[in-house]
Structure 1
Protein backbone atom coordinates (compact mmCIF):
# COMPACT_ATOMS: atom_id res chain seq x y z
CA UNK A 1 0.00 0.00 0.00
CA UNK A 2 1.28 3.41 -0.98
CA UNK A 3 1.41 6.36 1.40
CA UNK A 4 -0.64 9.43 0.61
CA UNK A 5 1.38 12.41 1.79
CA UNK A 6 0.03 15.92 2.12
CA UNK A 7 2.85 18.42 1.62
CA UNK A 8 1.92 22.01 2.31
CA UNK A 9 3.54 25.40 2.62
CA UNK A 10 1.89 26.82 5.70
CA UNK A 11 2.09 29.86 7.94
CA UNK A 12 2.71 29.67 11.68
CA UNK A 13 -1.02 30.23 12.22
CA UNK A 14 -1.96 27.34 9.92
CA UNK A 15 -2.99 29.16 6.73
CA UNK A 16 -2.19 27.33 3.49
CA UNK A 17 -3.72 29.65 0.92
CA UNK A 18 -1.11 31.25 -1.29
CA UNK A 19 -0.54 34.94 -0.79
CA UNK A 20 2.20 37.46 -0.25
CA UNK A 21 3.72 35.37 2.55
CA UNK A 22 5.05 32.66 0.23
CA UNK A 23 7.26 32.34 -2.83
CA UNK A 24 8.77 29.10 -4.18
CA UNK A 25 12.35 30.19 -3.48
CA UNK A 26 11.66 32.05 -0.21
CA UNK A 27 12.92 29.17 1.89
CA UNK A 28 16.37 29.26 0.37
CA UNK A 29 18.49 26.51 -1.18
CA UNK A 30 18.12 24.18 1.80
CA UNK A 31 14.32 24.10 1.45
CA UNK A 32 14.67 23.49 -2.29
CA UNK A 33 16.97 20.55 -1.55
CA UNK A 34 14.40 19.12 0.89
CA UNK A 35 11.74 19.47 -1.83
CA UNK A 36 13.99 17.66 -4.31
CA UNK A 37 14.45 14.79 -1.85
CA UNK A 38 10.68 14.51 -1.47
CA UNK A 39 10.16 14.57 -5.23
CA UNK A 40 12.68 11.74 -5.60
CA UNK A 41 10.57 9.55 -3.30
CA UNK A 42 7.23 10.20 -5.02
CA UNK A 43 6.09 8.84 -8.34
CA UNK A 44 2.55 10.23 -8.18
CA UNK A 45 1.25 13.76 -7.79
CA UNK A 46 -2.37 14.17 -6.66
CA UNK A 47 -4.27 17.41 -7.06
CA UNK A 48 -7.71 18.89 -7.47
CA UNK A 49 -8.91 20.38 -10.75
CA UNK A 50 -8.45 24.06 -9.88
CA UNK A 51 -4.87 23.64 -8.67
CA UNK A 52 -4.11 21.35 -11.62
CA UNK A 53 -5.35 23.94 -14.11
CA UNK A 54 -3.32 26.68 -12.41
CA UNK A 55 -0.19 24.53 -12.46
CA UNK A 56 -0.79 23.37 -16.04
CA UNK A 57 -0.91 27.02 -17.10
CA UNK A 58 2.41 27.80 -15.43
CA UNK A 59 4.88 24.94 -14.94
CA UNK A 60 5.16 23.45 -18.45
CA UNK A 61 6.37 26.84 -19.74
CA UNK A 62 9.16 27.13 -17.13
CA UNK A 63 12.03 25.86 -19.27
CA UNK A 64 14.78 27.55 -17.24
CA UNK A 65 13.52 26.48 -13.82
CA UNK A 66 16.57 25.91 -11.57
CA UNK A 67 14.44 24.40 -8.79
CA UNK A 68 13.68 21.17 -10.66
CA UNK A 69 9.97 21.52 -9.92
CA UNK A 70 9.04 22.04 -13.58
CA UNK A 71 11.02 19.01 -14.76
CA UNK A 72 9.47 16.87 -12.03
CA UNK A 73 5.90 17.98 -12.73
CA UNK A 74 6.31 17.52 -16.46
CA UNK A 75 7.37 13.87 -16.07
CA UNK A 76 5.60 12.62 -12.91
CA UNK A 77 2.29 10.74 -13.18
CA UNK A 78 -0.32 13.30 -12.23
CA UNK A 79 -3.73 12.36 -10.85
CA UNK A 80 -6.51 14.95 -10.86
CA UNK A 81 -9.63 14.43 -8.77
CA UNK A 82 -12.41 16.05 -10.79
CA UNK A 83 -15.96 15.36 -11.85
CA UNK A 84 -15.78 17.89 -14.70
CA UNK A 85 -12.30 17.80 -16.27
CA UNK A 86 -12.35 15.99 -19.61
CA UNK A 87 -9.01 16.59 -21.34
CA UNK A 88 -6.12 17.20 -18.96
CA UNK A 89 -3.84 18.57 -21.69
CA UNK A 90 -0.70 17.82 -19.63
CA UNK A 91 0.68 14.33 -19.86
CA UNK A 92 1.06 12.03 -18.10
CA UNK A 93 -2.24 12.71 -16.29
CA UNK A 94 -5.05 10.45 -15.14
CA UNK A 95 -8.42 11.83 -14.08
CA UNK A 96 -9.93 10.29 -10.93
CA UNK A 97 -13.66 10.78 -10.50
CA UNK A 98 -13.75 10.61 -6.70
CA UNK A 99 -12.20 9.49 -3.44
CA UNK A 100 -12.96 5.82 -4.10
CA UNK A 101 -10.50 6.00 -6.99
CA UNK A 102 -7.95 7.63 -4.66
CA UNK A 103 -8.40 4.67 -2.28
CA UNK A 104 -7.82 2.31 -5.20
CA UNK A 105 -4.70 4.24 -6.24
CA UNK A 106 -3.27 3.83 -2.74
CA UNK A 107 -3.61 0.05 -3.16
CA UNK A 108 -1.44 -0.05 -6.29
CA UNK A 109 2.29 -0.66 -6.38
CA UNK A 110 4.53 2.36 -6.39
CA UNK A 111 6.15 5.05 -4.33
CA UNK A 112 4.58 7.92 -2.39
CA UNK A 113 1.55 9.82 -3.65
CA UNK A 114 1.97 13.51 -2.85
CA UNK A 115 -0.83 16.06 -2.65
CA UNK A 116 0.19 19.72 -2.58
CA UNK A 117 -2.08 22.75 -2.59
CA UNK A 118 -5.65 21.79 -3.48
CA UNK A 119 -7.24 22.90 -0.21
CA UNK A 120 -10.69 21.51 -1.01
CA UNK A 121 -9.27 18.12 -2.01
CA UNK A 122 -6.94 18.12 1.00
CA UNK A 123 -9.92 18.68 3.30
CA UNK A 124 -11.79 15.82 1.62
CA UNK A 125 -8.77 13.52 2.00
CA UNK A 126 -8.48 14.40 5.69
CA UNK A 127 -12.18 13.85 6.32
CA UNK A 128 -12.08 10.50 4.44
CA UNK A 129 -9.12 9.34 6.58
CA UNK A 130 -6.91 8.85 3.52
CA UNK A 131 -3.84 10.87 4.60
CA UNK A 132 -0.93 8.86 5.99
CA UNK A 133 1.60 11.65 6.50
CA UNK A 134 1.82 15.43 6.62
CA UNK A 135 4.97 17.30 5.55
CA UNK A 136 4.56 20.89 6.58
CA UNK A 137 6.95 23.61 5.46
CA UNK A 138 6.14 26.21 8.10
CA UNK A 139 7.00 29.74 7.02
CA UNK A 140 7.73 32.43 9.65
CA UNK A 141 4.61 34.43 8.81
CA UNK A 142 1.25 35.04 10.44
CA UNK A 143 -1.48 36.18 8.10
CA UNK A 144 -4.43 35.84 10.52
CA UNK A 145 -6.92 35.06 7.75
CA UNK A 146 -7.44 32.41 5.12
CA UNK A 147 -8.15 28.72 4.79
CA UNK A 148 -6.39 26.47 7.23
CA UNK A 149 -4.99 22.99 6.71
CA UNK A 150 -7.36 21.23 9.08
CA UNK A 151 -11.04 22.06 8.72
CA UNK A 152 -13.16 22.54 11.84
CA UNK A 153 -14.17 19.22 13.35
CA UNK A 154 -11.29 17.21 11.88
CA UNK A 155 -9.43 16.33 15.06
CA UNK A 156 -6.18 14.47 14.39
CA UNK A 157 -3.70 12.67 16.62
CA UNK A 158 -0.32 12.80 14.98
CA UNK A 159 3.16 11.56 15.74
CA UNK A 160 6.10 13.83 14.95
CA UNK A 161 8.56 11.77 12.88
CA UNK A 162 10.93 14.49 11.70
CA UNK A 163 11.83 18.12 12.11
CA UNK A 164 14.31 20.31 10.30
CA UNK A 165 14.89 24.02 10.64
CA UNK A 166 16.44 26.04 7.84
CA UNK A 167 18.52 29.26 7.92
CA UNK A 168 15.62 31.12 6.26
CA UNK A 169 13.43 30.54 9.32
CA UNK A 170 11.33 27.90 7.56
CA UNK A 171 10.83 24.66 9.48
CA UNK A 172 9.86 21.30 8.01
CA UNK A 173 7.75 19.20 10.37
CA UNK A 174 6.77 15.68 9.37
CA UNK A 175 3.86 13.96 11.10
CA UNK A 176 2.37 10.48 10.70
CA UNK A 177 -1.29 9.97 11.36
CA UNK A 178 -1.96 7.49 14.13
CA UNK A 179 -3.86 4.60 12.60
CA UNK A 180 -7.51 4.37 13.64
CA UNK A 181 -6.98 7.15 16.16
CA UNK A 182 -8.09 10.22 14.26
CA UNK A 183 -10.55 11.50 16.87
CA UNK A 184 -9.48 10.08 20.23
Structure 2
Protein backbone atom coordinates (compact mmCIF):
# COMPACT_ATOMS: atom_id res chain seq x y z
CA UNK A 1 0.00 0.00 0.00
CA UNK A 2 1.26 3.48 -0.88
CA UNK A 3 1.07 6.08 1.88
CA UNK A 4 -0.07 9.60 1.05
CA UNK A 5 3.21 11.09 2.26
CA UNK A 6 5.60 9.01 0.17
CA UNK A 7 4.07 8.36 -3.25
CA UNK A 8 5.28 11.40 -5.16
CA UNK A 9 8.70 12.37 -6.47
CA UNK A 10 9.31 15.04 -9.13
CA UNK A 11 10.66 12.56 -11.68
CA UNK A 12 8.24 9.70 -10.89
CA UNK A 13 6.29 10.30 -14.07
CA UNK A 14 9.30 9.89 -16.32
CA UNK A 15 11.21 12.38 -18.47
CA UNK A 16 8.10 13.60 -20.29
CA UNK A 17 6.38 14.62 -17.05
CA UNK A 18 9.56 16.25 -15.82
CA UNK A 19 9.71 18.24 -19.08
CA UNK A 20 6.08 19.34 -18.55
CA UNK A 21 6.91 20.38 -14.97
CA UNK A 22 9.86 22.39 -16.24
CA UNK A 23 7.61 24.06 -18.80
CA UNK A 24 5.18 25.02 -16.02
CA UNK A 25 8.06 26.42 -13.95
CA UNK A 26 9.36 28.47 -16.89
CA UNK A 27 5.95 30.11 -17.36
CA UNK A 28 5.59 31.20 -13.74
CA UNK A 29 6.73 34.61 -12.54
CA UNK A 30 5.70 33.95 -8.96
CA UNK A 31 5.34 31.01 -6.60
CA UNK A 32 2.65 31.32 -3.90
CA UNK A 33 2.39 29.13 -0.81
CA UNK A 34 1.09 29.10 2.70
CA UNK A 35 3.49 29.18 5.63
CA UNK A 36 3.55 25.43 6.36
CA UNK A 37 4.30 24.44 2.77
CA UNK A 38 6.86 27.24 2.49
CA UNK A 39 8.67 26.05 5.62
CA UNK A 40 8.68 22.46 4.33
CA UNK A 41 10.10 23.57 0.97
CA UNK A 42 12.64 25.89 2.63
CA UNK A 43 13.91 23.06 4.83
CA UNK A 44 14.66 20.84 1.83
CA UNK A 45 15.18 22.47 -1.57
CA UNK A 46 17.86 25.13 -0.88
CA UNK A 47 20.28 22.40 0.21
CA UNK A 48 19.84 20.21 -2.87
CA UNK A 49 23.04 20.76 -4.84
CA UNK A 50 22.85 17.75 -7.17
CA UNK A 51 19.24 18.13 -8.27
CA UNK A 52 18.93 16.94 -11.89
CA UNK A 53 15.24 17.96 -12.03
CA UNK A 54 15.93 21.71 -11.95
CA UNK A 55 13.36 22.20 -9.19
CA UNK A 56 15.94 23.36 -6.66
CA UNK A 57 17.38 25.95 -9.07
CA UNK A 58 13.87 27.15 -9.91
CA UNK A 59 12.76 27.47 -6.30
CA UNK A 60 15.96 29.26 -5.32
CA UNK A 61 15.50 31.94 -8.00
CA UNK A 62 11.73 32.33 -8.47
CA UNK A 63 9.95 35.17 -6.68
CA UNK A 64 8.25 33.44 -3.74
CA UNK A 65 5.20 34.75 -1.91
CA UNK A 66 4.13 33.32 1.44
CA UNK A 67 0.72 34.02 2.92
CA UNK A 68 1.20 34.11 6.69
CA UNK A 69 0.11 36.19 9.63
CA UNK A 70 3.01 34.93 11.78
CA UNK A 71 6.11 34.52 9.58
CA UNK A 72 8.54 37.39 10.09
CA UNK A 73 11.82 36.49 8.38
CA UNK A 74 11.35 34.08 5.48
CA UNK A 75 15.07 33.28 5.35
CA UNK A 76 14.97 32.26 1.66
CA UNK A 77 15.38 34.95 -0.97
CA UNK A 78 13.64 36.21 -2.96
CA UNK A 79 10.56 35.90 -0.74
CA UNK A 80 7.81 38.35 0.17
CA UNK A 81 5.44 37.70 3.06
CA UNK A 82 1.80 38.51 2.31
CA UNK A 83 -0.53 38.98 5.28
CA UNK A 84 -3.79 37.86 3.67
CA UNK A 85 -6.00 37.50 0.61
CA UNK A 86 -6.15 41.27 0.05
CA UNK A 87 -2.37 41.19 -0.47
CA UNK A 88 -2.78 38.22 -2.84
CA UNK A 89 -5.45 40.11 -4.79
CA UNK A 90 -3.16 43.17 -5.11
CA UNK A 91 -0.30 40.92 -6.21
CA UNK A 92 -2.50 39.25 -8.81
CA UNK A 93 -3.49 42.67 -10.15
CA UNK A 94 0.14 43.86 -10.45
CA UNK A 95 2.27 40.86 -11.46
CA UNK A 96 2.45 40.55 -15.24
CA UNK A 97 2.82 36.80 -15.56
CA UNK A 98 1.56 33.67 -13.91
CA UNK A 99 1.51 33.02 -10.20
CA UNK A 100 1.39 29.35 -9.29
CA UNK A 101 0.34 27.80 -6.01
CA UNK A 102 1.52 24.32 -5.09
CA UNK A 103 0.38 22.38 -2.04
CA UNK A 104 -0.95 24.71 0.64
CA UNK A 105 -4.43 23.18 0.73
CA UNK A 106 -5.81 25.62 3.32
CA UNK A 107 -4.58 28.59 1.28
CA UNK A 108 -5.85 26.97 -1.92
CA UNK A 109 -9.33 26.61 -0.42
CA UNK A 110 -9.27 30.31 0.51
CA UNK A 111 -8.08 31.31 -2.98
CA UNK A 112 -10.86 29.26 -4.60
CA UNK A 113 -13.53 30.71 -2.31
CA UNK A 114 -12.31 34.25 -3.03
CA UNK A 115 -12.40 33.69 -6.80
CA UNK A 116 -8.64 34.19 -7.13
CA UNK A 117 -7.91 31.00 -9.12
CA UNK A 118 -8.13 31.35 -12.89
CA UNK A 119 -6.67 28.00 -13.91
CA UNK A 120 -6.11 24.57 -12.36
CA UNK A 121 -3.15 22.49 -13.57
CA UNK A 122 -3.68 19.02 -12.26
CA UNK A 123 -1.04 16.33 -12.70
CA UNK A 124 -2.97 13.11 -12.14
CA UNK A 125 -0.78 10.13 -11.22
CA UNK A 126 -1.98 6.54 -11.63
CA UNK A 127 -1.89 6.02 -7.87
CA UNK A 128 -4.91 5.78 -5.63
CA UNK A 129 -4.37 7.37 -2.24
CA UNK A 130 -7.31 6.77 0.04
CA UNK A 131 -6.50 9.60 2.43
CA UNK A 132 -5.93 13.30 2.18
CA UNK A 133 -7.90 16.46 1.78
CA UNK A 134 -10.11 17.46 -1.10
CA UNK A 135 -9.10 20.17 -3.50
CA UNK A 136 -12.69 21.28 -4.11
CA UNK A 137 -15.08 21.80 -1.21
CA UNK A 138 -18.00 22.80 -3.43
CA UNK A 139 -18.93 22.59 -7.09
CA UNK A 140 -16.81 24.74 -9.42
CA UNK A 141 -17.83 25.69 -12.97
CA UNK A 142 -14.75 24.69 -14.99
CA UNK A 143 -13.94 24.17 -18.65
CA UNK A 144 -11.30 21.74 -19.83
CA UNK A 145 -8.62 23.77 -21.61
CA UNK A 146 -6.19 20.96 -22.43
CA UNK A 147 -5.33 17.38 -21.59
CA UNK A 148 -2.01 15.62 -22.05
CA UNK A 149 -1.09 12.06 -21.22
CA UNK A 150 2.37 10.61 -20.74
CA UNK A 151 3.81 7.10 -21.23
CA UNK A 152 4.00 6.64 -17.44
CA UNK A 153 0.22 6.95 -17.17
CA UNK A 154 0.35 10.45 -15.68
CA UNK A 155 -2.10 12.95 -17.16
CA UNK A 156 -1.94 16.73 -17.08
CA UNK A 157 -5.39 18.29 -17.06
CA UNK A 158 -5.73 22.05 -17.35
CA UNK A 159 -9.08 23.50 -16.39
CA UNK A 160 -10.08 27.14 -16.49
CA UNK A 161 -12.69 28.83 -14.38
CA UNK A 162 -15.95 29.32 -16.23
CA UNK A 163 -17.74 32.49 -15.14
TM-score (norm 2): 0.95
**1:42 matched to 2:46:** no
Using the TM superposition, give the Cα deviation of residue 55 of structure 1 relative to its aligned residue in structure 2, in angstroms.
0.3
Q: Which structure would you say has the larger RCO, counting Cα contacts within 8 Å and 6 or more residues apart? A: 1
Give 1:75's match in structure 2, choosing from 51, 57, 61: 61
Runs of 4+ in 1 over 3 A off after TM superposition: none
- Counterpart of 1:112? 98
- Counterpart of 2:162? 178
Using the TM superposition, give the Cα deviation of residue 149 of structure 1 relative to its aligned residue in structure 2, in angstroms.
1.0
**1:166 matched to 2:150:** yes
The unaligned stretches of length 5 or more in structure 2 are none
The unaligned stretches of length 5 or more in structure 1 are 1-16, 180-184
Aligned positions of 1:20-59 closer than 5 A? 20-59=6-45
Asked whether the equivalents of residues 146 and 158 of structure 2 are also in contact (C-alpha less than 8 Å), the reply is yes
Deviations 1:128-182 (A, max 9, x none): 111000000001111222111112xx21010101100001110000000012xxx
TM-score (norm 1): 0.85
Aligned length: 161
Give 2:86's match in structure 1, choosing from 100, 122, 125: 100
Aligned positions of 1:61-72 closer than 5 A? 61-72=47-58
- Counterpart of 2:140? 156
Cα distance in 1, alignment partners of residues 13 and 6 from structure 2: 14
The structure with the largest helix share of the pair is: 2
Cα distance in 2, alignment partners of residues 54 and 91 from structure 1: 15
Cα distance in 1, alignment partners of residues 47 and 4 from structure 2: 20
Cα distance in 1, alignment partners of residues 4 and 65 from structure 2: 21
Using the TM superposition, give the Cα deviation of residue 109 of structure 1 relative to its aligned residue in structure 2, in angstroms.
3.5
Cα distance in 2, alignment partners of residues 18 and 33 from structure 1: 24
- Counterpart of 1:3? none
